[in-house]
Structures are given as structure tokens and as C-alpha cells.
Structure 1
Amino acid sequence: MCLAIPGKVLKIEGNKGIVEVGNMKREVFMHLVPEACVNEYVLVHAGCAINMIDEEEAKITMNIFKELLENEVC
């Protein structure tokens, strides 16, 4: 199963952007969301921002991921 992860757009240059996901910053392709602006949130999948997401929903999703990782059983 593949998941898209929300991230905050920090910088956009052409078709690429820098997105903060948790404590990590990643370069992603932005061509699928040309309407995205700095300080907005996008869903990132396979190195591409694939959709816009509002800040509240992004934070809820990140908290769920954080909780899942904290309770992971190997």
C-alpha cells in the first residue's frame, strides 16, 4: 500500500519545490499542483505533490502518522 503524506511548501522554483514533512525537507515535483503557494500544504506521493490539503487536515493526518509510529510493534 502506498500513502501520500502532507507537507508544508517552503519554496517553489519552477516545477520543483521544497516541502517540509515532519522534521525533514524534501525536494518534490510541483507540476501537478501549479496553484500551490509557499506556506500551503500539499499531499506528497512518490516525489510529487499530487494535491492540495488544508492546514487543519494536514496537522490531523500528521498527528495520526506520529501516533502510529509511536505505537508500532515489531
Structure 2
Amino acid sequence: MCLAVPLKLVSVNGNDAVGEVGGIQREVSIMMTPDVKVGDYVIVHAGFAIQVLDQKEAEENLELLRQIGETAEAMQEDARSRRKAGRSV
């Protein structure tokens, strides 16, 4: 499964940029979104910025991803607890 992630651009150099989310920086190609600038939010898929977002959209997307991550962690913890107790997952 592939996932497109919103990043905030912290540097732009030609067709390349560096985006950041949660303190983690990634190099991305902005070939498909040539008019972006530092401070813009973009959706990144497979290393390419494919769409420009406004800040509100980016924050909403990031919050949804955070909630999905929390749910997945809770489900994994529940499965581990069930296995330890000898119950079916």
C-alpha cells in the first residue's frame, strides 16, 4: 500500500526541495508542482510533490494520519495482549 503524505517545504532548489513533517525532513521532486515556494504544503507520493495544499488542509490530513496511527497501535497492543493471555486474535 502506498501513502501520500503532506509535507511543509523548508527549501527549494530548482526541481528539488526538502519537505518536513514531525521534525523529519525528506528530499522531494517538485517537477510536477513547479510554482511552489518555501513554506508551501504539498502532498508527496513516491518522492514527488503531486499537489499543493493550504495549511488547513495539510493540518487536517496530518491529524487524520495521526489518528490512524494511534488506532493501529492500539489494535496491535490488543492483539499482543490476547496472544499472551492465550486468546484468539
Q: Deviations over 1:5-44 (max 9, x none)?
A: 1110000011110000222100011110001010010000
Partner residue in 2 for 1:4: 4
Partner residue in 1 for 2:15: 15
Q: TM-score, normalised by structure 2?
A: 0.78
Number of residue pairs aligned between Structure 1 and Structure 2: 74
Instruction: Give the superposition deviation at 1:70.
Output: 1.2
* Structure 1 spans left out of the alignment, 5+ residues: none
Question: Which of structures 1 and 2 has the bigger CA Rg?
Answer: 2
Partner residue in 1 for 2:43: 43
After TM superposition, the runs of 4+ consecutive aligned structure 1 residues lying more than 3 A away are none
Tell me the secondary structure at the aligned position of residue 2 of structure 2. Answer: coil
CA RMSD in angstroms, aligned pairs only:
1.0
More strand by share: 1
* Structure 2 spans left out of the alignment, 5+ residues: 77-89
**Identical residues among aligned pairs (%):** 38
Q: TM-score, normalised by structure 1?
A: 0.92
- Larger RCO (CA within 8 A; separation ≥ 6): 1
Taking the aligned partners of 1:22 and 1:15, their CA distance within structure 2 comes to 23
Matching of residue 64 in structure 1 with residue 69 in structure 2: no
More helix by share: 2
Tell me the secondary structure at the aligned position of residue 59 of structure 2. Answer: helix
